[in-house]
Amino acid sequence: MLNSDFLAGYLSQSENFEELPKQSDVVIIGGGLLGTALSYYLATAGVEVTLLERNDLNREASGTNAGSFHFQIALHQLTENMTAADDKRLADETKLMLDAAKLWDEIEKELDADLGVHFTGGFMVAETQEEFQVLRDKQRIENVAGLETHVLTGNEMREFAPYLAPDLSGIAFCPREGHANPLLVGPTYAYRAHELGAKIRTNCEVIQIEQITGISGYRFKIHTSRGTILCNRVVNASGAWTAELSSQLGLNLPMALSGLHVNVTEPREFFLHSMVQHIGRRLTLKQTANNTFIIGGGWPSRAEKFPLRYSNIWESAAGNAAVAVRVLPMLKDVQLVRVWSGVWAYTNDFKPILGESEKIPGYHIAMVPTGFTLGPMVSKMLAEYMTQPGTQNLLPKEFHVDR
Amino acid sequence: MKAFDLVIIGGGPAGIAAAATAASHGLKVALIDERPTLGGQIYKRVGPGFTVKKASEVGKDYYLGEKLIAELDNLKVDIYFETLVATIEQSEVVVIQNGKSAERLSFRKLLISPGAYDRPVVFPGWTLPGVITAGAAQSLVKTQRVAPGSRIFFAGSGPLALAFPAQLSGYGANIVGIIEAAPRPGILKSIQIALSVLGNFDLLRDAAKYQLHLISNRIPMHYRRIIVRANGKNRVESVTHARVDKNWQVIPGTEKTVEVDALCIGYGFFPSVELFRLLGCELGYEESRGGTVVKLNEWGATSVANVFGAGDGTGISGSYVAIARGRLAALKIAAELGKISESSLSKLAAGFRKTLNRRVKFQSAINRAYEIKSGIYDLADDETIICRCESVKLESILPSLESTIDPSVVKAYTRCGMGLCQGRNCQRQISALIAKKQNIPISEITQATPRFPTKPIKLGQIADASIRDEKYFVDAE
């Protein structure tokens, strides 16, 4: 079984610094969670695949998130006036989450590695009566879709979670939620892909994707900082930079970027086994295996141009801290030691962009807003599509690249 | 929100001098310091409940400090004691006063003079109780009149490596030995220093005085030796030191062990550049001035508009340079804000500039003579803890060095630098390990992305419930 010490040594070692192959059936752009997972699933099917990463593996959103599985219906999925159509949409989205949960059940066995996967449950808290009603409504949809959630209030709630603020209007608890170590999942996929013959190349920046025709039979010539490579199929899995790269080919992807603020505290004796979210305010909160608290939930940070990291805004630290202290009062005496910020790529409807462009045959996109929870699963879906010709219907229409 | 013409961060020599100069020219000044008294490290005042009866015993710096601090007596300066700077955004400093919630001070000009901290040196046993920095020993003595032990050993390099133990011995502490990694100053070096000394006689006299004190008190002093190990079970019981070559590499077979109950480490200082990095000020690297230094123009302006720097926090240059730099920056700021004319600016500045040039010359001669050599980074063995906040040993770090030149990657995989000190103690050591492994100069290793807060702060003090997220629903455009 692989462990983290080994992976730290592997990171970019082995053949990563070797020359680019001259050609490859598939070229994946981006060494984050989606790219590495896809390289693995394609390699298991015997596809010739090369992954190009401009930096080290797993360094952006894939490695800078909190590693939580978000299966419950959350704030960002709700709309102002919920309709029957919204109920149907939420039920579909919940079913997708359940599929992802099944993949996370199996992933450590599949990759024969300790990835820190634990199903320790997750809270969704409500402060107002209005919010509490949302917990009840969402529970109805979740339970129909097959996701187990419980709604508690009053003494029952205070007994179940005595550390939460006693005057919350209620909580939902989903036993299926949990987390994995985000630093390990992507690199482990890459390592296993490499074992199966995939070529992983880091410090290799894609500069231009050129469409070609001619006797070679290849459809694309990829110009990189380390030379060119010919390929039949390209998968753009470059996360926050997916749209920027696609615009070279005249594609306009319906996605936008946002910086997310995260507060990190000093360690305290471990007691908080389950992640905590808020149905009405921006909050995700968890105590890590290192006993620190990671607090986020969608507070903004300031955009910067790559390679600079997004910079943090004081208001986000202060507002985020206030919600966290409101929900988990013991936090008021815990010290903030640092903040960080990742770049979050999202679509207007929070649905993935997944599949092959009809305008540019052979050009694929793999992008998903709730990336950590759904990343491995959407990569697997795309790999199935790419390895089973004529399975156009494998990918949901609403994920379509040209939508 | 309170508004100031000038906010000064750090109440050491540079900050006090700047505050006094700026206030005397009519600027509305705020002076912020973490401690309950002014003075910084060199002019640190005695702690609460202590009084100085015989000023001659506490040394010349005490006099100089009191004189400087007294300049503020009849001036209007808002002093924020026990106050941390959490972050700086646009033209506002976010401060947290002891026990209170965050507050904002707006500024037209900002002077950052945060000082330096002791260079952490990583060697087997460096985290044992009883091993402290020379600066910590000095603080104990200055504020509390407590010696760090009853058998004290000093390991260090540089002019202060003599000054600290001499001072401590003057207070009656039992110093059992001193080692200096640099060679005994030879004729050439003495001439170099002497040539630069014109007008700096007091500094040279100090050094001679310290040396004389050590000799007359028969304190063993050894040159060209470095600390190798601190030994002991629950605290330091003995120290092992060894002879070094010119790069401070240990010469095997030259080890000696001494029984001690306190080990003071004084291999110079690191400038506290955190706030400059956070603001994106242009930095440089000069090993002889403490490593990462801030680029300043002749007036002390950084590359970021309206932000000035002064003192050891911009690069180690000593208190005389700090004071001159602080005054020059304050004068320039007063001129930029229209309080003094350009012509009186150059007149007022002339004297300070002369002092500055003289002191800089001396200090650079000293810094060159005592430059830190690469052997300082090679003392750890596999079992040595590199990151003391997260208890990460060298052996856990080595695998990640195979593949990257980015300390952030090492950090992500080993947790090195993720703890309370946020890498102040281990970051340079990590950079040195990468530099050695990949055979590139340490100055070319990038540093982790700067993030606030610069020091840990309770969430309850940060929390601001008046800041609202969009209620309920994200707008899907």
- Residues A248, A353, single domain; the answer is yes
- Quick one: A235 and A187 in the same domain? yes
The C-alpha atoms of residue A12 and residue A204 are separated, in whole angstroms, by 12
Taking the CA of residue B404 and the nearest CA in chain A, the distance in Å comes to: 7
Predicted local distance difference test score (pLDDT) of residue B475: 42
Question: Is residue B126 classed as helix, strand or coil in its secondary structure?
Answer: coil
Pair A152, A282 in one domain: yes
Q: Strands across the sheet with B225-231, in order? A: B225-231, B238-243, B256-259
Nearest to A112 by CA among A223, A7, A35: A7
Exposure pattern of A184-213 as b/e (b: 16+ CB <10 Å)? bbbbbbbbbbbebebbbbbbbebeebeeee
In a domain, A105, yes or no: no
A7, A295, A335: best to mutate for the B interface, most B CBs within 10 A: A335
Residue type, B228: V
Instruction: Give the pLDDT confidence of B395-433 residue by residue, as tens digits.
Output: 999 988 877 788 888 888 888 999 999 999 999 999 999
What is the ipTM for the molecules in this complex? Answer: 0.88
B207-210 CB contacts, 8 Å cutoff, 24+ apart: B207/B159, B207/B162, B207/B163, B209/B166, B210/B162, B210/B163, B210/B166, B210/B167
Residue B8 above 70 pLDDT?
A: yes
pLDDT of residue A7: 58
- Whether A156 has its CB under 8 Å from any CB of chain B: the answer is no
B197 pLDDT above the threshold of 60: no
The burial of B208, by beta-carbon neighbours within 10 Å (0-12 exposed, 13-18 middle, 19 or more buried), is given as exposed
The answer to whether the CB of B351 falls within 8 A of the CB of B344 is no
Domain ranges of chain B: 2-117+270-367, 120-267, 380-444
Measure the CA–CA gap between A196 and A21, rounded to whole angstroms: 16
pLDDT at B477: 34
Name the residue of chain A whose CA is nearest to B399's CA: A9
Q: What is the DSSP string of A243-271?
A: HHHHHTTT---SEEEEEEEEEEE----S-
Confidence band of A306 (pLDDT split at 50, 70, 90): confident
Looking at the predicted structure, is the pLDDT value of residue B352 above 60? yes
**Which of A63, A79, A335 is closest, CB to CB, to B473?**
A79
Residue range B22-30: average pLDDT? 98
Structure-block tokens of residue A102:
């099944």
Partner A, chain B 105-164, Cβ-Cβ below 8 Å:
none
For helices A33-44 and A182-195, angle between their N-to-C axes, nearest 10 degrees: 30
DSSP label at B400? G
Average pLDDT over residues A32-47: 97
Q: Which residues contact B270 (CB under 8 A, 6 or more apart)?
A: B116, B117, B118, B119, B290, B291, B292, B424, B428
Least confident of B17-26, B222-231, B354-363, B457-466: B354-363
Does B205 score more than 80 pLDDT? Answer: no
Asked if B107 and B7 touch (Cβ cutoff 8 Å), the reply is yes
Look at A334 and B468 and tell me if their CB atoms are within 8 Å: no
Cα–Cα distance, A203 to B468 (Å, whole number): 41
Percentage with pLDDT > 70 across chain B: 92
Residue B415 forms contact with A (CB below 8 Å): yes
* Tens-place pLDDT, residues A163-180: 999 999 999 999 999 999
The pLDDT assigned to B56 comes to: 64
Among candidates B413, B464, B474 on the partner chain, residue whose Cβ is nearest the Cβ of A76: B474
**Mean pLDDT of chain A, nearest integer:** 91
Report the C-alpha gap between B80 and B4 in whole angstroms: 13
CA dist., res. B254 & res. B256, Å (int)? 7
pLDDT of residue A215: 76
Average pLDDT of B217-226?
89
Other C-beta atoms closer than 10 Å to the C-beta of B247 total 10
Cis amide bond preceding B453, omega within 30:
yes
pLDDT band at B474 (very low <50, low <70, confident <90, very high): very low
CA distance B305 to B290: 25
> Is residue A110 a part of any domain in this protein?
no
Of B404, B460, B472, the CB nearest to A280: B472
Interface membership of B305 toward A (CB under 8 Å):
no
Q: Are A162 and A33 in the same domain?
A: no
Q: A319 vs B415: CB contact, 8 Å cut-off?
A: no
Is residue A268 exposed (0-12), middle (13-18) or buried (19+ Cβ within 10 Å)? middle
Mark which residues 31-60 of A lie under 8 Å from B by CB: 56, 59
* CB contact at 8 A, B289 and B270: no
Asked if B382 has any chain A CB less than 8 Å from its own CB, the reply is no
B403 contact A CB<8A: yes
The answer to the question of residue A91 being in a domain is: no
Q: Which of A121-125, A142-146, B248-252, B405-409 has the lowest mean pLDDT?
A: B405-409
Q: Is B466 exposed, middle or buried (0-12, 13-18, 19+ CB in 10 A)?
A: exposed
pLDDT digit string, tens, across residues A357-382: 999 999 999 999 878 999 999 999 99
Structure tokens at B390: 């997260």
Closest to A336 (Cβ–Cβ): which among B408, B457, B467? B457
* Contacts with B449 from chain A: Cβ below 8 Å: 309, 340
Per CB-CB distance under 8 Å, the chain A contacts of B452 are: 312, 314, 317, 339
Closest CA to A31 of A15, A48, A12, A44: A12
Chain B residues close to A340, C-beta within 8 Å: 449, 451
Q: Note whether A166 and A213 are same-domain residues.
A: no
Q: Mean pLDDT for chain B? A: 89
Is A234 contained in some domain? yes
How far is the alpha carbon of A160 from chain B, nearest alpha carbon, in Å? 25
Query: What are the percentages of helix, strand and coil residues in chain B, rounded to 5?
Result: 35, 20, 40
- Among A11, A309, A324, beta carbon nearest to B459: A324
Of A318, A333, A335, the CB nearest to B467: A318
Query: Do A163 and A267 share a domain, yes or no?
Result: yes
pLDDT at B471: 45
Whether residues B460 and A337 touch (CB distance < 8 A) is answered with no
| pLDDT of B350 | 95
- Lowest-confidence region among A4-13, A392-401, B320-329, B366-375: A4-13
What's the Rg (C-alpha) of chain A? 21
- On whether the CB atoms of residues B102 and B96 are closer than 8 A, the answer is yes
In the numeric block, the tokens 């030879």 are attached to B186
Quick one: closest CA in A to B458, which residue?
A335
H/E stretch holding B162 = helix B159-170
Per-residue confidence band for A272, with pLDDT thresholds at 50, 70 and 90: very high
Q: For residues A192 and A341, state if they share a domain.
A: no
Which CATH number is A237's domain given? Answer: 3.50.50.60
Q: Tokens representing A19?
A: 């020359």
Checking DSSP bridges between strand A255-265 and strand A227-236, what pairing results, if any? unpaired
Please give the pLDDT value at position B473.
39
Burial class (CB in 10 A: 0-12, 13-18, 19+), A390: exposed
Any idea how long chain A is? 403
First to last CA, chain B: 35
- Domain-embedded: residue A111: no
Examine residue A101 and state whether it is found in any structural domain, yes or no.
Answer: no
When pLDDT is averaged across residues A134-150 and rounded to a whole number, the result is 95
Q: Are residues A328 and A373 in the same domain?
A: no
In the CATH hierarchy, which fold is given to the domain comprising B2-117+270-367? FAD/NAD(P)-binding domain (3.50.50)
**B2-117+270-367 matches B120-267 in fold:** yes
Shortest CA gap B440–chain A (Å) = 18
Q: Considering only the beta carbons, identify the residue of A8, A78, A317 that sits closest to B399.
A: A8
Chain B residue whose CA is closest to A134: B472
End-to-end CA distance of chain A: 42
Q: Are A13 and B402 inside 8 Å of each other by CB? A: yes
Which residues of chain B have a CB within 8 Å of the CB of A350?
476
* Percent of chain A whose predicted confidence (pLDDT) is above 70: 95
B370 vs B304: which has the higher pLDDT: B304
Q: Are A336 and B462 in contact (CB < 8 Å)?
A: yes
pLDDT tens per residue across span B64-110: 888 999 999 989 999 999 999 999 998 999 999 988 999 999 999 99
Nearest one of B137, B109, B144, B139 to B331, comparing CA atoms: B109
The highest-level CATH class for domain B120-267 is alpha beta
- The 10s digit of each residue's pLDDT in B333-347 is 999 999 999 999 999
Residue matched to tokens 């695998």: B399
Asked if B404 and A336 come within 8 Å (Cβ–Cβ), the reply is: no
Whether residues A228 and A264 fall in one domain: no
Query: Across-strand partners of A263?
Result: A295, A339
HEC sequence for B38-51: CCCCCCCCCCCCCC
**What is the number of CB-based contacts under 8 A between chain A and chain B?**
142
Beta carbons of A183 and B413 less than 8 Å apart:
yes
Q: Which of A2, A3, A11 to mutate to test the interface with B (most CBs of B within 10 A)?
A: A11
The residue ranking higher by pLDDT, B63 or B177, is B177
**Which stretch of A157-161, B202-206, B471-475 has the lowest confidence by average pLDDT?**
B471-475
Mean pLDDT for B2-6 is 97
CB contact B89 to A (< 8 Å): yes
Q: How many Å is the Cα radius of gyration of chain B?
A: 23
Is the model's pLDDT at A235 over the cut of 90? yes
The answer to whether residues A279 and A330 belong to one domain is: yes
> What's the gap in Å between the CA of B459 and the closest CA on chain A?
5
Q: Answer whether A263 sits within 8 Å of B422, measured CB to CB.
A: no
Is B380-444 a domain of CATH 3.40.50.620? Answer: no
Give yes or no for residue B212 having a pLDDT over 80: no
Greater confidence, A346 or B79?
B79
| A270 and A172 fall within a common domain | yes
Q: How confident is the model at residue B192 (pLDDT cuts 50, 70, 90)?
A: low
pLDDT of B44 reads 81
Which residue on chain B is closest to A315 by alpha carbon? B467
Give me the number of domains chain A comprises: 2
Q: How far apart are CA A309 and CA B450, in angstroms?
A: 9
Per-residue pLDDT tens over the stretch B280-335: 999 999 988 999 999 999 999 999 999 999 999 999 988 899 999 999 999 999 99
| pLDDT tens digit sequence for B143-186 | 888 889 999 999 999 877 677 788 788 778 899 999 999 888 76
- Answer yes or no: is A96 within a domain: no
- Is residue A266 less than 8 Å (CB to CB) from chain B? yes
Question: Is B456 within 8 Å of A333 when comparing Cβ atoms?
Answer: no
Give the residue among A282, A352, A271, A344 at the shortest CA–CA distance from A319: A282
| Chain A contact for B469 (CB, 8 A cutoff) | yes
The range of the structural domain enclosing residue A189 comes to 4-63+182-254+349-399
Give the model's pLDDT for residue B198.
52
Residue A35 in this model has a pLDDT that exceeds 70: yes
Q: Does A83 touch chain B (CB under 8 A)?
A: no
Contact flag B472-A5 (C-beta cutoff 8 Å): no
B391 Cα to chain A: minimum distance (Å)? 12
